[in-house]
């Protein structure tokens, strides 16, 4: 049962919670095969998209007994991700005001073996022709490597290109392959494509984001609604539609998907019938790139692999912690930033980045990093307290008190939050 179905989630469009739930119920036959057994992070908007939302992956209270969850180890504990295999579970997400479910690239029970490789094209400017050409180039380079790819709109600014893989490779190998392909792409079209993570360094170029391929990283599920005006949908589409300029990043909407699905069905219906091994394509990518290519890409993307890039990425957080202990705060921040980009769902990496930046005196960016950590794991008292400390450093006592209050609500014994709250209240 959907509670408060009259609640307006998209104020400019008048789309209610009830309409969102009805959409997910209608698309369930097409969406569930792509969601099934994948850990889900919920992007929730309890007050609608006009207010700030948050990300939730740990479901530890307030859930029905029948909801399937999977326990995933993390540093210092575990996370209980929801799994969705049926309509009832999908509607439960909608009832939590979850507008967008984000999914892993692997499935339970073998979460260490991804069955998808994802390329996320993130444009800096709105240039549909350049984006179209870049997206087709990704498809063509993958085809040169012997791989068939599938396409979906992001529902935001770009496209997602997805390669189904046979789950024989590890996360590190899939990420390494995707990173190598992105280097090839940037070499093919350096005027329009880049690996630069920092927006100011991209210019007008399109970022080839391969960070969706890290362990625990997510991307918007097929047929997921995005929290943007018009309720765009991240929808599978055909390559011929892009070739003929029939589709853009936000072409499909919540209110138009029923007609499209009735007309074309699930364009991704056969995706997992074509799972492909990455062994030979990976060897070919490595043969096409030099050590200098990998090293240049490492500098550009701030997300590196060790040495030539052939080995898996090192444990950057361990390196970052050691640098921090040595008082090398800027170097620690760089390492944490690489770790966060390698796994965009790693709240601890963003928290470490925030702490390092705060120690350098970069309060504004420290707050942004802590905010990201809090959005990823809003129920971690330590992250809330750290955000409060950053606000206090900025002199924003009101926000500091709010963050410390949340930290103490989550853990009344958090001494750092108690001390911080006392300082925030002092005049």
Point out the least confidently predicted range of 15-19, 114-118, 120-124, 333-337.
333-337
Point out the least confidently predicted range of 19-33, 244-258, 291-305, 403-417.
291-305
The order of strands in the sheet holding 219-220 is 54-56, 40-44, 98-103, 219-220
**Percent share of the chain, pLDDT over 70:** 95
Q: Are 206 and 123 in contact (CB under 8 A)?
A: yes
* Residue-averaged pLDDT of the chain: 90
**Percent share of the chain, pLDDT over 90:** 67
* pLDDT: which is higher, 344 or 256: 256
In this predicted structure, the answer to whether residue 299 has a pLDDT above a threshold of 80 is: no
Question: Which residues are bridge partners to 224 per DSSP?
Answer: 234
* pLDDT: which is higher, 184 or 303: 184
DSSP category for residue 350: H
Q: Are 227 and 220 in contact (CB under 8 A)?
A: no
Beta strands 219-220 and 98-103, pairing class: antiparallel
pLDDT digits (tens, 9 = 90+) for 361-388: 889 999 999 999 998 888 888 999 999 9
Q: How far is CA 139 from CA 142, 185, 191, 235, in A?
A: 5, 10, 18, 17
User: 3-class DSSP state for residue 392?
Assistant: helix
In this predicted structure, the answer to whether residue 300 has a pLDDT above a threshold of 80 is: no
Q: Are 125 and 204 in contact (CB under 8 A)?
A: yes
Q: What is the mean pLDDT of residues 54-67?
A: 92
Q: What is the mean pLDDT of residues 335-359?
A: 85
pLDDT score, position 308: 27
In this predicted structure, the answer to whether residue 13 has a pLDDT above a threshold of 70 is: yes
- Say if residue 109 is preceded by a cis peptide, omega within 30 of 0: yes
* pLDDT: which is higher, 9 or 176: 9
Q: Are 275 and 147 in contact (CB under 8 A)?
A: no
pLDDT digits (tens, 9 = 90+) for 193-215: 998 877 778 899 999 999 889 88
Question: Which residues are bridge partners to 269 per DSSP?
Answer: none
In this predicted structure, the answer to whether residue 427 has a pLDDT above a threshold of 90 is: no
Q: φ, ψ for residue 64 (rounded to 5)?
A: -75, 155
Ranges of each domain in the chain: 8-103, 116-279, 316-425
Token duo for residue 252: 């499909």
Q: Are 311 and 294 in contact (CB under 8 A)?
A: no
Q: Are 80 and 59 in contact (CB under 8 A)?
A: yes
Q: What is the mean pLDDT of residues 285-293?
A: 89
In this predicted structure, the answer to whether residue 268 has a pLDDT above a threshold of 50 is: yes
Q: Are 146 and 280 in contact (CB under 8 A)?
A: yes
- CA-closest candidate to residue 171, choices 129, 93, 118, 113: 113
What is the C-alpha radius of gyration for the chain, rounded to an integer number of angstroms?
Answer: 22
Instruction: For domain 116-279, give the CATH superfamily.
Output: DNA primase, PRIM domain (3.90.920.10)
Residues sharing a CB contact under 8 Å with residue 19, sequence separation 6 or more, in sequence order: 254
Helices (H), ranges, 64-127:
87-95
Query: What's the CATH number of domain 316-425, 3.30.460.80, 1.25.40.10, 3.30.870.10, 1.20.1250.20?
Result: 1.25.40.10
Q: What is the mean pLDDT of residues 389-410?
A: 91
User: 3-class DSSP state for residue 10?
Assistant: strand
């Amino acid at each position: 049962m959907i509670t408060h179905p009259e609640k307006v989630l998209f104020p400019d469009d008048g789309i209610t919670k009830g309409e969102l739930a009805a959409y997910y119920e209608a698309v369930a036959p097409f969406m569930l095969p792509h969601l099934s057994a994948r850990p889900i992070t919920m992007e929730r908007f309890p007050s609608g998209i006009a207010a700030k939302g948050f990300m939730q992956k740990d479901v530890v209270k307030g859930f029905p007994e029948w909801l399937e969850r999977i326990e995933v180890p993390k540093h210092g504990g575990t996370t209980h991700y929801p799994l969705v295999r049926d309509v009832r579970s999908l509607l439960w997400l909608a009832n939590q005001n979850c507008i967008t479910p984000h999914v892993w690239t692997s499935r339970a029970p073998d979460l260490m073996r991804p069955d998808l490789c994802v390329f996320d094209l993130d444009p800096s400017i709105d240039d549909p022709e350049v984006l179209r050409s870049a997206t087709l180039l990704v498809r063509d380079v993958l085809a040169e490597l012997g791989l068939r790819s599938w396409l979906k709109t992001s529902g935001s600014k770009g496209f997602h290109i997805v390669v189904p893989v046979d789950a024989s490779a590890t996360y590190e190998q899939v990420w390494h392959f995707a990173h190598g392909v992105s280097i090839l792409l940037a070499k093919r079209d350096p005027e329009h494509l880049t690996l630069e993570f920092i927006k100011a360094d991209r210019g007008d170029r399109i970022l080839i984001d391969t960070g969706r391929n890290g362990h625990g990283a997510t991307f918007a599920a097929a047929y997921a609604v995005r929290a943007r005006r018009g309720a765009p949908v991240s929808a599978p589409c055909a390559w011929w539609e892009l070739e003929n300029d029939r589709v853009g990043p936000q072409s499909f909407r919540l209110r138009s998907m029923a007609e499209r699905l009735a007309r074309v069905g699930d364009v991704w219906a056969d995706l997992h019938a074509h799972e492909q091994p990455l062994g030979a394509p990976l060897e070919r990518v490595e043969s096409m790139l030099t050590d200098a290519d990998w090293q240049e890409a490492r500098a550009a993307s701030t997300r590196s692999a060790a040495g030539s890039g052939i080995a898996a990425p090192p444990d950057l957080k361990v390196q970052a912690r050691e640098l921090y202990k040595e008082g090398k705060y800027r170097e620690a921040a760089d390492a944490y930033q690489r770790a966060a980009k390698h796994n965009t769902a790693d709240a601890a990496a963003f928290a470490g980045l925030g702490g390092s930046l705060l120690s350098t005196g970069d309060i504004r960016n420290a707050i942004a990093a802590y905010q990201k950590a809090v959005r990823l794991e809003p129920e971690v008292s330590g992250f809330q307290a750290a955000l409060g400390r950053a606000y206090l450093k900025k002199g924003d006592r009101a926000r500091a008190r709010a963050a410390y209050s949340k930290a103490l609500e989550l853990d009344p014994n958090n001494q750092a939050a108690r001390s911080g709250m006392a300082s925030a209240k002092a005049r």
